[in-house]
Amino acid sequence: MADTLELLRENGFDVENALRRVMGKKEYYYKILKKFPDDKSYEKLRSGLAEGDVRKAFEGAHTLKGISGNAGITPVYAAVQPVVELLRAGSASGIGPYMDTLEAAYARAVSIIGDI
């Protein structure tokens, strides 16, 4: 279990704050992390952008921001913040580079979570 926590820390996860949120229950934290790849908010963000539906994309991004923040998945949280702010302003103009960063962070987080 210590190795798992260290793996998460080494990859930028905010393990300490996430564990505080679950009152130090490591198994519960792992359970939360394991559910992250099944969450549909990232898909909602991407489909909203593909459809040109800024509101739908914003809702997906905003949910992803909250989930990743609460779970201590800092790389995803940091990458989705500028996406949320652009979409909050009502436009997806210039979002490409931010989505590239988010896509890489998301894929990496899902891969790491799959290894625990």
User: What residue segments make up the domains of the chain, in order of their start?
Assistant: 2-114
State pLDDT tens for residues 99-115: 999 999 999 999 999 99
State pLDDT tens for residues 41-60: 999 999 999 999 999 999 99
Radius of gyration of the chain (CA): 14
Long-range contacts of 46-50 (CB under 8 A, 24+ apart): 49/92, 49/95, 49/99
